[in-house]
Amino acid sequence: MDSLPTELLLQIFKCKELSPVDLVRCGRTCRRYHDITNSSEFKIDYTFQVDHISHSGWRLIRCLLLNPALGERFQSLQIAWHRRRRRDKTTWTTKWNWTEEELAHISAVLNKWGIDDSGTLYRAIEIGLNSEALIPLLLCFTTTLESLDIGEVAHDMISDEYGHTILDAAQIFSHCMGLSSGSPQPGARDSKGERISRTSRRRPLDPSGTYKVDLSEWYHSGAGHYNPGGRLVEPLRHIPWIYNAFNPKAWPPGLVSLKEFSHGSSNSAALRYRPRSLNTWPNRNLSTVLQLPNLETLKLSHINALMGTPIHTQIKPPHKLKHLEIFHYRFYRTDFEKVAILTGGSLESVKCVLSEENFTPWDMSPEDKIRIITDFFHDNSKETLKKENISVYRSFKGFFDDFRFDANENAAMVEQLNAHYGSLDRECHVCDHPYEDDDDLEFYPY
């Protein structure tokens, strides 16, 4: 290793398999490695794995508390969501334990940047069950962060497409806290103190039909709440901690320096699948996102936003936005107009790939709708945005007619996009995954 040139060592240390904790250890090996890992040329592209069983998120924060300068090396941050799955006990990430010194340091950092006036964020971090609460704290260290991709936010701490009950939460919570072997104790009550009946579960675990577990720490960590029948209340009503970081009155340092912000799943997924759920936060807070001081590129992909959700325009915020990308974003005509007004002024390129739902409510031809959307953006950024730099495409022609995936047609559309903008998604191209049988694809018609 000593004989390798510095440029090659930089590439080795940038390997995604090496965590920031590993890099700190490398820097302690010798003076040369220390100089390389602390040089201005060394940048970190990091994937933060929420609730991963390796506790990688908590270990990263522990490392940053000991070596805050490491946060200055973060160039891009991507969030990967690994929530606990109800039916897979191997995903039930256990509680993380802090030392008193670490908690004092965490409290000092949060107070320094004024991002937790109520103390609720600190409490969620202290409990050690939801590593997503660490993201606002992480953004206090990443002072030169340029790119943030928060992915498709998994709101609740338990992931299950069929939903779950408070009894499932009690069992998982007990396991994660080490309170029992995983079986809830008798006598259950919900967050309002009301007793949960055994009818809220497919089969009772106790003759009394109730379970008693104090879930206050589960709720303080950011979990969703349950109705009197024990079923989970719509989890998207809950505001994740990452969203709370978007506060123009007290931006964390990592958001102040941000040039590119992405929200939603990958572009390839946006082209191939219909939304499962309705996340209205991006619509309601578009004005807030645009107030990021140095934001130049905004990518909204597969947001699953509810058609017609009020977009809070209020006063148009000053911004430096140059590039806007919208994939599979479900808007009405007035929504597009509002977005064009909000983002207008300095745009240089706009790229939209839209689902058929964008075209369903409008009583006009798809070509006319595409022309109207194009005009909306051009009229609000005439001085900087040329029409040839505005592209609006339909994702699935005829998609709502038979709910079948046309691989050839979609591949042609991707090729058309790539020819104009380059690779749409370097990780996964629709044309790279031919399907012999359309039945292998799962869609979700209303």
pLDDT in tens, 383-405: 999 999 999 887 654 333 333 33
Element (H, E) at 268: helix 267-272
Q: From the centroid of its chain, how far is CA 413?
A: 27
pLDDT at 405: 37
Beta-strand runs (E) in 31-125: 44-50, 74-81, 84-85
**Contact between 156 and 224 (Cβ < 8 Å):** yes
Q: What is the DSSP letter of 382?
A: T
Does residue 357 have a pLDDT over 60? no
Does residue 275 have a pLDDT over 90? no
Two tokens at 32? Answer: 């040369």
Counting beta carbons within 10 angstroms of the beta carbon of residue 270, is it exposed (0 to 12), middle (13 to 18) or buried (19 or more)? Answer: buried
Does residue 13 have a pLDDT over 70? no
Q: How far apart are CA 244 and CA 136, in angstroms?
A: 8
Neighbours of 73 (CB within 10 A): 19
pLDDT at 343: 92
If phi over 0 gives left and psi between -120 and 50 gives alpha, with beta otherwise, what is residue 55? left
Does residue 200 have a pLDDT over 80? no
- Band (pLDDT 50/70/90 cuts) for residue 361 is low
pLDDT at 256: 95
Percentage of the residues of the chain whose pLDDT score is greater than 70: 63
Neighbours of 418 (CB within 10 A): 14
pTM: 0.75
pLDDT at 43: 78
Highest mean pLDDT among 229-233, 258-262, 434-438: 258-262
Two tokens at 79? Answer: 């969030």
Q: How far apart are CA 443 and CA 274, in angstroms?
A: 6
pLDDT at 207: 36
Residues 6+ apart with CB under 8 A from 152: 81, 264, 265, 302
Residues 6+ apart with CB under 8 A from 28: 34
- Average pLDDT value for residue range 140-148: 95
Does residue 382 have a pLDDT over 80? yes
Average model confidence (pLDDT) for the chain? Answer: 75
User: Secondary structure of the chain: what % helix, strand, coil (to 5)?
Assistant: 40, 15, 50
Q: Helix 333-343 vs helix 366-380: angle between axes, to the nearest 10 degrees? A: 20
C-beta contacts of 118-127 below 8 A and 24+ residues apart: 120/220, 121/241, 121/244, 123/220, 124/220, 124/221, 124/222, 124/241, 125/98, 126/98, 127/95, 127/217, 127/220, 127/221
pLDDT in tens, 51-104: 999 999 999 999 899 889 888 889 999 999 999 999 899 999 999 999 999 999
Nearest alpha-carbon partner for 49 in 95, 93, 98, 105: 93
Q: What is the DSSP letter of 143?
A: T
pLDDT at 78: 93
- Average pLDDT value for residue range 217-242: 80
pLDDT at 184: 40
- Average pLDDT value for residue range 194-199: 47
- Average pLDDT value for residue range 166-181: 86
